[in-house]
C-alpha cells in the first residue's frame, strides 16, 4: 500500500481501567504506553508512540536501521491548572507523543524489539468502525445525555469489538471518528456512583487512555489505521487529544474554544485538515475528509462560509484519477439525523456540484447505528458504521431511532422510509440499532462484507461489487 472533572492522575489510571471493564493484555512496546502505525498524506507511513512525560522518545529499528522518533507533542501535566478554566482547553497530559514519518512502507519496524503493523502492498481485508467512546457528559443541573456505564462491557462494548476486530486480522482499520466521550460529570446525584467506581472522566490523558488507547490495544497492534476526525474531537471537546495523538497534520495546540458559545468549534477555527488521498491499490483510492466542525444541521443559506471552506479543502477530489474512490467523513453525506429543512447543507451542496462519478461509496459515523442508503441516480452508496461502542441511537430519547417506548428492535428497518436525502429518495437500504463493525474482504467481484457483533458473531452479509454503487445487505433476523 502507498499513500498519495479530572478525577485522576496517570499514576492511578491503570487500576481504574480494570474497574472500567476494559483491562486487556497490552501489546505496546515496554517503553511505550501505546504504539501504532497510521496512514498519512504525501506518501507517508506515520509511526506513533506515547511515553510518560519526561521519558525520551524511543528509537525505532526500521529494516534493521535505527531511526530516532521525535517529540510530536510534549506533556503538560506539570503546568498549574486554573479551577475555573474551560476544561477542554489545555487539559492535563502527563505523556508525550512521539512520531516518525517514513516516506515508504518498510519491511519491518521494531520498537523495543516488538514489531509494529506495516501496510501491505494490497489490502485484502479492511475493518470499518466508528463512534467508540463511553458517553459521559452531565452538567450540574442533571439535564444531560444518558450516562453510559463504562464499567460494563455489555453497556460499553468497545473493548470487545476491538478484540473481535483484531481476531479478523485485517490489513487496514478505518475509524470514522468519535474516539473520546468522557467529557465531564458534575451532577452529584447522578455522578456519585461513577466517581465511586473510579471511572476516568477527563479531556486529558486519563480520559483518552480509558476511552480509546487501552481498549483499542489489540487492534492497534494488528494493522495500520486510517483515523477520521469526529465532532467529539473538535477543539471545544476532545480536540487537544486528537491533535496530540491521531491527527495526520502537524501538531498545533487547540485554542480556547467553548461549546455552544460564539467561540465554539467550526470549520474555520478548528484546525480543519484538507482532504487527502490514500491509494489502496491501482484501482481503488480513499479520500479522507475532516468535516468534524461542520454544523451540518444548518441549511447552506445559513453557512456560506462553510461552502467556501469545503471548496478549498476538497481540492483532492478535483484531481483526475481512474480509480474508484471511497469518501470517508465523520458526518455522513446523507443520513437520518438531519431534517429536510436543513438540506442541502454546505457539505451536500459542494459535493452535489463536485462529487466525481468514480466515487463508489461514502462512509461515515456520527449516527450510532449501522445504516446503508442506496440510490438510483448515480449517487454513491452511503454506509454508516456508528455502532462501535458509544451508546446506540436506540437508547437516546432525542434520536429518531429511540426504542425506549416502542420496544427492542422497533426502529430497525429493512427498507428506506420514503424520505428524501438532499432531494433524492433512497432506493434501498437498512437501519440496524446494534453494536457492530463491518469487515470487507476483497474477492473476484469486488468486496464481500460481513457485519459482525461485539464478539465477532455474524449479523448479516453484504456486498459491494466493483461495477455498482450499492452496498447490498440482507436484513437479519433478531
User: Which tens digits make up the pLDDT trace of 72-131?
Assistant: 999 998 776 666 689 999 999 999 999 999 998 799 999 999 999 999 989 999 999 999
pLDDT of 218 over the 80 cut: yes
The DSSP result for 374-387, as a single string, is: E-SSSPPEEEEE--
Euclidean distance between CA atoms 220 and 467, whole angstroms: 32
Identify the CA nearest to 459 among candidates 409, 401, 416, 399.
409
Report yes or no on whether pTM surpasses 0.85: yes
Give the alpha-carbon dihedral of 75, 201, 81, 15, to 10 degrees.
-60
224-267 pLDDT tens trace: 999 999 999 999 999 999 999 999 999 999 999 999 999 999 99
- List the one residue out of 98, 133, 103 whose CA is nearest residue 231: 133
Under the banding of pLDDT at 50, 70 and 90, the label for residue 13 is: very low
Q: How far is CA 397 from CA 264, 301, 391, in A?
A: 25, 29, 11
CA–chain centroid gap for 278, Å, is: 17
SS3 content of the chain, % helix, strand, coil (to 5): 20, 25, 55
Instruction: Report the residue count for the chain.
Output: 478
- What pLDDT does residue 19 have? 38
CB distance 157 to 435 below 8 Å: yes
Other CB atoms closer than 10 Å to residue 87's CB: what's the count? 17
Q: Which tens digits make up the pLDDT trace of 310-332?
A: 999 999 999 999 999 999 999 99
Higher model confidence: residue 12 or residue 474?
474
DSSP structural state of residue 358: T
Going through 169-227 in order, the beta strands assigned E by DSSP cover: 172-175, 182-185, 225-227
**27: confidence class by pLDDT, cuts 50, 70, 90:** low
Q: Does residue 144 contact residue 396 with C-beta atoms inside 8 Å?
A: no
Q: How far apart are CA 337 and CA 402, in angstroms?
A: 12
Q: Beta-carbon neighbour count of residue 198 at 10 Å?
A: 17
What pLDDT digit, counting tens, does each position of 275-315 carry? 999 999 889 999 999 999 999 999 999 999 999 999 999 99
Output the nine-digit C-alpha cell for 318: 478535483
Residue 15 has pLDDT above 60, yes or no: no
Q: Cα–Cα distance between 115 and 106 in angstroms, integer?
A: 12
The pLDDT score that the predictor gives to residue 81 is 62
Q: Which three cell numbers stand for residue 186?
A: 458534575
Looking at per-residue pLDDT, the higher value among 24 and 299 belongs to 299
pLDDT at 167: 98
Q: What is the DSSP string of 324-347?
A: EEEEE-SS-SS-TTS-GGG-S-HH
Mean pLDDT of the chain: 92
> What's the sign of the alpha-carbon dihedral 178, 182, 188, 194?
positive
The pLDDT of residue 6 is above 80: no
CB within 8 Å of 130: residues ≥ 6 apart: 175, 176, 177, 178, 228, 230, 330, 364, 365, 366, 385, 386, 388
Reported as a single tens digit per residue, the pLDDT across 110-126 is 999 999 999 998 999 99
Q: What is the pLDDT of residue 2?
A: 43
Question: Quick count: other Cβ atoms within 10 Å of Cβ 272?
Answer: 23
Cell of 11: 499514576
- 150 touches 103 (CB < 8 A): no
Asked whether the beta carbons of 430 and 372 are under 8 A apart, the reply is yes
Any idea what DSSP says for residue 177?
S
- State the CB neighbour count (10 A cutoff) for residue 393: 23
Percent above pLDDT 90 for the chain: 86
From residue 165, give the alpha-carbon distance in Å to each of 29, 266, 384, 440, 453. Answer: 21, 33, 17, 12, 10
Mean pLDDT computed over 56-63: 96
pLDDT of residue 416: 96
pLDDT of residue 229: 98
Distance of CA 184 to the CA centre of its chain: 20
Q: Is 70 exceeded by the pLDDT of residue 14?
A: no
Q: Is the dihedral of CA 231, 236, 242, 248 positive or negative?
A: positive
Q: What average pLDDT does this structure show over 355-384?
A: 96
Residue 24 scores a pLDDT above 80? no
* Mean pLDDT of the region 200-204: 96
What pLDDT score does 477 carry?
84
Tell me what pLDDT residue 270 has: 96
CA 316 – CA 332 distance, rounded (Å): 18
Residue 466's pLDDT is: 86
Looking at the predicted structure, is the pLDDT value of residue 439 above 60?
yes
Quick one: pLDDT at residue 478?
76
CA-CA-CA-CA torsion sign (48, 51, 53, 56): negative
User: Which pLDDT belongs to residue 3?
Assistant: 41
* pLDDT for 7: 31
Amino acid at each position: 500500500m502507498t499513500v498519495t472533572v479530572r478525577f485522576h492522575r496517570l499514576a492511578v489510571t491503570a487500576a481504574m481501567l480494570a474497574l472500567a471493564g476494559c483491562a486487556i493484555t497490552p501489546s505496546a512496546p515496554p517503553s511505550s504506553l501505546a504504539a501504532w502505525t497510521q496512514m498519512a498524506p504525501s506518501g507517508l507511513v506515520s509511526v506513533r508512540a506515547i511515553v510518560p512525560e519526561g521519558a525520551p522518545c524511543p528509537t525505532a529499528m526500521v529494516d534493521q536501521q535505527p531511526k530516532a522518533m521525535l517529540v510530536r507533542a510534549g506533556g503538560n501535566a506539570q503546568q498549574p491548572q486554573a479551577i475555573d478554566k474551560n476544561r477542554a482547553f489545555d487539559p492535563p497530559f502527563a505523556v508525550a507523543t512521539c512520531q516518525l514519518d517514513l516516506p515508504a512502507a518498510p519491511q519491518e519496524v521494531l520498537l523495543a524489539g516488538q514489531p509494529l503493523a506495516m501496510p501491505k502492498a494490497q489490502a485484502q481485508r479492511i475493518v470499518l468502525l466508528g463512534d467508540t467512546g463511553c458517553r459521559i457528559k452531565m452538567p450540574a443541573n442533571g439535564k444531560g445525555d444518558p450516562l453510559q456505564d463504562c464499567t460494563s462491557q455489555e453497556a460499553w462494548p468497545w473493548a470487545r469489538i476491538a478484540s473481535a476486530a483484531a481476531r479478523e486480522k485485517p490489513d487496514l482499520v478505518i475509524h470514522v471518528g468519535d474516539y473520546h466521550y468522557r467529557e465531564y460529570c458534575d451532577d452529584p446525584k447522578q455522578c456519585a456512583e461513577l466517581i465511586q467506581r473510579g471511572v476516568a472522566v477527563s479531556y486529558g490523558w486519563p480520559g483518552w487512555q480509558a476511552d480509546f488507547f487501552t481498549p483499542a490495544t489489540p487492534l492497534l497492534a494488528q494493522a495500520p489505521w486510517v483515523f477520521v476526525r469526529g465532532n467529539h474531537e473538535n477543539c471545544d471537546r476532545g480536540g487537544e487529544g486528537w491533535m496530540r495523538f491521531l491527527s495526520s497534520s502537524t501538531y498545533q495546540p487547540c485554542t480556547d474554544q467553548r461549546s455552544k458559545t460564539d467561540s465554539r468549534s467550526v470549520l474555520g477555527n478548528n484546525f480543519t485538515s484538507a482532504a487527502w488521498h490514500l491509494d489502496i491499490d491501482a484501482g481503488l483510492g480513499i479520500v479522507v475528509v475532516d468535516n468534524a466542525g461542520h454544523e451540518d444541521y444548518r441549511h447552506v443559506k445559513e453557512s456560506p462560509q462553510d461552502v467556501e471552506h469545503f471548496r478549498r479543502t476538497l481540492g483532492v477530489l478535483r484531481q483526475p484519477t481512474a480509480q474508484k474512490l471511497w469518501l470517508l467523513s465523520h458526518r455522513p453525506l446523507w443520513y437520518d439525523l438531519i431534517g429536510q429543512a436543513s438540506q442541502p447543507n454546505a457539505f451536500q451542496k459542494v459535493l452535489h456540484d463536485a462529487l466525481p462519478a468514480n466515487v463508489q461509496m461514502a462512509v461515515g459515523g456520527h449516527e450510532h447505528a449501522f445504516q446503508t442508503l442506496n440510490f438510483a441516480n448515480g449517487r454513491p452508496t452511503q454506509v454508516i458504521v456508528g455502532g462501535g461502542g458509544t451508546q446506540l441511537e436506540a437508547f437516546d430519547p432525542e434520536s429518531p431511532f429511540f426504542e425506549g417506548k416502542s420496544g427492542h428492535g422497533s426502529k430497525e428497518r429493512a427498507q428506506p422510509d420514503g424520505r428524501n436525502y438532499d432531494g433524492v429518495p433512497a432506493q434501498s437500504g437498512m437501519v440496524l440499532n446494534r453494536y457492530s463493525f463491518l469487515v470487507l474482504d476483497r474477492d473476484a467481484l469486488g468486496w464481500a462484507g460481513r457485519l459482525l457483533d461485539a464478539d465477532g458473531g455474524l449479523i448479516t452479509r453484504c456486498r459491494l461489487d466493483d461495477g455498482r454503487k450499492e452496498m447490498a445487505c440482507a436484513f437479519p433476523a433478531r
